[in-house]
Structure 1
Amino acid sequence: MSSYDVAVIGSGPGGYVAAIRCAQLGMKTAIIEKYSTLGGTCLNVGCIPSKALLDSSHHYDDAVRHFEEHGIEIPGEVKVNLEKMINRKQSVVDQTCSGVKFLMDKNKIDVYEGVGSFADSTHINIKKTDGSEEKIEARNTIIATGSKPSTLPFIEIDKERVITSTEALKLKEVPKHLVIIGGGVIGLELGQVYKRLGAEVSVVEFMDRIIPGMDGALSKELTKVLKKQGFKFYTGHKVKEVTRDGKKVTVKADDKKGKEVVLEGDYCLVSVGRRPYTDGLNAEAAGVKLNERGQVEVNDHLQTSTSNIYAIGDVIKGAMLAHKAEEEGVFVAETLAGQKPHIDYNLIPGVVYTWPEVAAVGKTEEQLKEAGVDYKVGQFPMRALGRSRASMDTDGFVKILADAATDEVLGIHMIGARMADLIAEGVTAMEYRASAEDISRMSHAHPTYAEAVKEAALAATDNRALHV
């Protein structure tokens, strides 16, 4: 039986990063993955493939709607080859997963393919795809088994017409009418992919606005922009029935007053969040406790109820984000090495990769109001930037929330072109506890989208924005 300092169950961003950091710190490390490719949900059926399709569909949308205005003329009709688009997406996934395998080899991490389940707190059984079993010993174990798409109790996911995000990444045709249940990140991103390619898209959301966890101003602006692109929204609606008849899917929902709306489409994407995945883990054999939501319970050190077993990522509490899982993976590895790592969960950014992109870090205006914090707001519209006009990306704004007394930045919320990258400036500023004036005095290259951050900081500092 092979013995290890650390065994990691799950090879998603949290798991494989944890394994790499453990190996870097001199620990003999193994990683266990049930699927034939490494990378977990994010690399295989999540972050990476969805961004590949978003980029491909964005190119098509630009060709159809904007090229002529840029002086680019294409003879004949611009057409979508969905099969080729899906194949390109898969090649990106394959390259990325191969990259993770390379990193495992480079760091001398043993990879086991199979389902890992606890025999006890220091032994893990690995059931392989061919039915054979192997047992390893691990002084410490990191649970990084991730999550799976959630559904509603009365909805039958048939994976053909009533689908999850996994199936939406490999459709063989562009839907005529895609009905999306859930107005969160995943639904909106995939909805935009197929809207660009010609589908009618309707979004049914139980809350009174889309992206309900983000700042209300971002939700309002994204709603406006997506409606302009042709999305139809049914916010404040509770889905009560989803039925399929051949190629037709019918979704029935009630608004807050009980008035029914009936939507008929050829595909229904159920995008109501994700659930922690612990199936087959046999956590109880190791004394690992789960809470009522199925999450692995951990303390502030990400330690489970069994002291030598840790858990990270989607399988524990908190935002289900790949980069949050990565930070936790490094945190556990460094903790095991006797270091004193730290994670500030307030500074884990959130991003929606629609176009315009939406990104945020820190507190929302709603959270500051609820906490009774005296704050000030600086906001700057993207349409006022020369760079935005040059690229025809004039939707959106940057909004900075700062403490009214100390001027410390408490939250940064942005919607516009390349905000997924630009939010790193906000994270950096807040990591160093910058004030709005600190940011306003930093030189930002011209012309760039980043100038909107400086201008928003100026607006928060005695309303000193220069270009509005």
Structure 2
Amino acid sequence: MELQDIPTETDVLVIGGGPGGYVAAIRAAQRGLDVTLVERDAVGGTCLNYGCIPSKALITATGIARDAGDAETMGVRADPEIDVEQMVSWKDGVVDRLTGGVEALCETNGVTVVDGLANFVDTHEVSIRGPDGDETKLTFSDCIIATGSRPIEIPGFDFDDFPVLGSRDALSLSSIPESIVICGAGYIGLELAGVFADLGTEVTIVEMLDEALPGYPSDLTDPVTDSLEERGVTFQFGEAATEWWPTKDRMQVETETAEGETSRYLTDRVLVAVGREPVTDTLGLDAIGLEPEENGFLETDDQCRTEADHIYAVGDVAGEPMLAHKASAEGITAAEVIAGEDVTYDPRMVPAVVFTDPEIATAGLTADEAAEAGYETTVGKFPLQSSGRALTTNQAEGFVELVADDASGQILGGRMVGPEASEVIAEIGLAVEQGLTLTDVASTIHSHPTLSESVMEAAEHALGQAVHTSNR
């Protein structure tokens, strides 16, 4: 909607149209509130436009090509040819369909969507600047801040410099670089490393720490790094990128260790994927008396309220974990509270997924975390080498693990590394959230042959009743 057409006041102002903001806006409108959503870039936010959806589209497309080329053991011989322009066009079509759907849902539910940048004037008013520089004022009763996060730049590696890519740029390339250096071995770096490796790019990952996917144990990450190395990816741990300069037709990237030793890498492009930071500097928070914490997040209570009672924060801007589904759940909470419901954001678990090959997924407590919380635990584990379905997909590397309270059998958490872990983890998440026991899961008949029955098998293993693997 054009600035001159928007109302001068609204019940609920939502700043940011990502998975936290647009979900909050729709839910608030469903509760009978007048809602205005201000988004300065694209409805759907980073997730739909420049992150979750486009990256998974490219991961799927390049994975199909790789699987086809690697299927000789299954009696399939193929030499796939990748049309990058067509692949990117298909990816863009997926994004357009989803963002168009979000815009339609906002309209159907009566949400006023404004293209602009909102800046607080005082505790109940913002100034909105449109793309053409025009400004207007809007007063509100309650506000939900959902401004999300952005990629962190490292000194000397400006995303505006041509050879340097952020994750957003990497997902929009229309040609394949012969080589790329990726700074950062977190989930974004590893997911995109897989895409580029499957496209035939020579990939080098530079990571200042001594391991990939910091925070994940090696039994989950080793299958991923092994897979990437088999596809030609090189890992350089203990190194941080410090400088780059152009050469005749490429670029040189210099790294340094903690001891001051330097290395240089000749490459076509460099991708910076060292993490993300919350976006609060565009809001004019001083006008409402809010100050981000040292890490940049806005502190909130269990109803997503900030220190200002009528101003809420959801999603990446409200703290870890920076995940789209966590943002949406918080957005629902904030909208319901504003509508007068006495609800809280207090999940037992927030699932996390890394869309590498194989995939990694976690939900709830690990065995170590459960022990730290005072539980005596029982652990059940089922190797995918014993899964008929995993073997028939030619992807049997990995396992499913369940952690339960020893006394009650209540499931506290679970982990998986393997094919479709992003889907299978939902059953474990449901079990944790609903307080189900090992017996509940083990006694539930699962379809065969499926990957999800590995959860049942892990529960049986924890109970000492395993049939398809050795009992503990």
TM score, norm. by length of structure 2: 0.93
Distance 2:342 2:464 in 1: 40
How many residue pairs match? The answer is: 464
Corresponding residue for residue 320 of structure 1? 322
- Secondary structure of 1:57's counterpart equals helix
1:410 aligns to 2:417 (yes or no): no
Segment of structure 1 superposing worse, 114-123 or 374-383: 374-383
* 1:97 and 2:79 matched: no
Please state how far the C-alpha of 1:358 moved relative to its aligned partner: 1.0
Please name the residue that 1:3 is paired with.
9
In the alignment, is residue 240 of structure 1 matched against residue 242 of structure 2? yes
Q: How far apart, in 1, do the equivalents of 2:393 and 2:399 lie?
A: 15
Cα pair 2:357 2:418 within 8 Å, conserved: yes
Cα contact 2:348–2:433 (8 A) shared by 1: no
23-32 or 374-383, larger mean C-alpha shift: 374-383
User: Aligned to 2:457, which of 446, 451, 455?
Assistant: 455
- With over 3 angstroms needed to count, the CA separation of the structure-2 counterparts of 1:204 and 1:92, relative to structure 1, is same
Structure 2 vs 1, CA of residues 403 and 326 (structure 1 numbering), >3 Å: closer, same or farther? Answer: same
Is 1:160 matched with 2:162? yes
Deviations 1:352-373 (A, max 9, x none): 1112211111123443455564
Q: Take 1:32 and 1:59, find their aligned partners in 2: how far apart are those partners?
A: 38
Among 197, 207, 210, the alignment partner of 1:208 is 210
Distance 1:213 1:242, change over 3 A: farther
- Aligned-pair distance for 1:405? 3.3
Shift of 1:229: 2.8
Report the Cα distance in structure 2 between the residues aligned to 1:206 and 1:379, rounded to whole angstroms.
Answer: 32
Which of 420, 428, 432 is the matching residue for 1:430? Answer: 432
Q: 2:22 aligns with which of 1, 16, 20?
A: 16
- Measure, in 1, the Cα distance between the counterparts of 2:163 and 2:353: 28
Please list every run of 5 or more consecutive structure 2 residues that lacks an aligned counterpart in the other structure: 1-6
8 Å Cα contact 1:5-1:140 kept in structure 2: yes
Q: Which amino acid aligns with 2:215?
A: G
1:458–1:332 distance in 2 versus 1, CA, 3 Å: same
> Match for residue 349 of structure 2?
347
Shift in Å, 1:93: 0.9
SS in 2 for 1:174: coil
How well do the aligned residues superpose, as a CA RMSD in angstroms? 2.0
Q: Deviations over 1:29-51 (max 9, x none)?
A: 1100112x311101110111111
Query: Is 1:53 aligned to 2:58, yes or no?
Result: yes
For residues 399 and 321 of structure 1, the distance between their equivalents in structure 2, rounded to whole angstroms, comes to: 22
Letter in 2 for 1:46: G
Amino acid at match of 1:25: R
Report the identity percentage. Answer: 39
Are positions 1:291 and 2:296 aligned together? no
Deviation at 1:246, TM superposition (A): 5.1
Change over 3 Å in CA distance of 1:95–1:138 after alignment to 2 = same
Deviations 1:201-260 (A, max 9, x none): 222222322122234421223222322332222233333334443543333334566554
Alignment of 1:117-128 (within 5 A): 117-128=119-130
Secondary structure in 2 matching 1:13: coil
Range with bigger deviation, 278-287 or 42-51: 278-287
Once structures 1 and 2 are overlaid, which stretch shifts more, 393-402 or 91-100? Answer: 393-402
Residue 90 of structure 2 is matched in structure 1 by 88
Give the TM-score taking structure 1 as reference length.
Answer: 0.94
- Partner amino acid for 1:44? N
Unaligned runs of 5+ in 1: none
Is the 1:29–1:109 contact (alpha carbons within 8 Å) kept by the matching residues of 2?
yes
Q: Take 2:306 and 2:450, find their aligned partners in 1: how far apart are those partners?
A: 46
1:73-115 deviations in Å (ceiling 9; x for gaps): 55xx532111111111111111111001100110011111111
Secondary structure of the residue aligned to 1:347 is coil
